[in-house]
Amino acid sequence: MNLKNKWFKYSLFFAILTICISCDQQTKQMAKEQLAYSRPIEYLDGTFKLMYAENTGAFLGLGTSLSPNLKYLFLIFIPTFVLFLFTITYFKASKSIGQFIGMSLIVGGGIGNMIDRIAYGSVVDFMNIDIGGIRTGIFNFADLAVFCGLLLLLFTIYKGKEAF
């Protein structure tokens, strides 16, 4: 796949964004409808749980107690600006398809959570996993896209041209 083809690059970027944002918004809507007023649903002996939570802060609830003006600054304005700069910079600098897809996943997940922050003032989280006795915080599809994008980005940077 050739990242030098501008149309391919734009098409891939917008396809990944569309898939990330659509899946994120649909799963959050399903969580609101199915989990908001129910007990957690457990799978695989509690390894994977579905439970409803609204996060008014950032990652793992950081910033929840900030004043409304500071919340706007730190949870909406600055992340939107950074996401915009990250997209523009990395769009031009991507060296491999793996890096480009990783960056696109990060941006797609970031936009998915930003939509919720702007529209509702909080982000819906609903998944929780126990990994070897360590339980994750509650997260959503957008968080998963950001995490997978970051792993892919780091892997391709570490492996260099051999990666993808």
What phi, psi does 33 have (nearest 5°)? -75, -40
Helices 141-159 and 6-35 cross at an angle (nearest 10°) of: 140
- DSSP, collapsed to helix, strand or coil, labels residue 3 as coil
Beta strands (DSSP E) in 39-79 are 41-43, 48-55
Q: What's the one-letter identity of residue 107?
A: V
Torsion of CA 143, 51, 74, 119, to 10 degrees: 90
Q: Which residues are catalytic?
A: 125, 143
- DSSP, collapsed to helix, strand or coil, labels residue 50 as strand
| Structure tokens given for 154 | 């780091």
Distance CA 17, CA 64 (A): 27
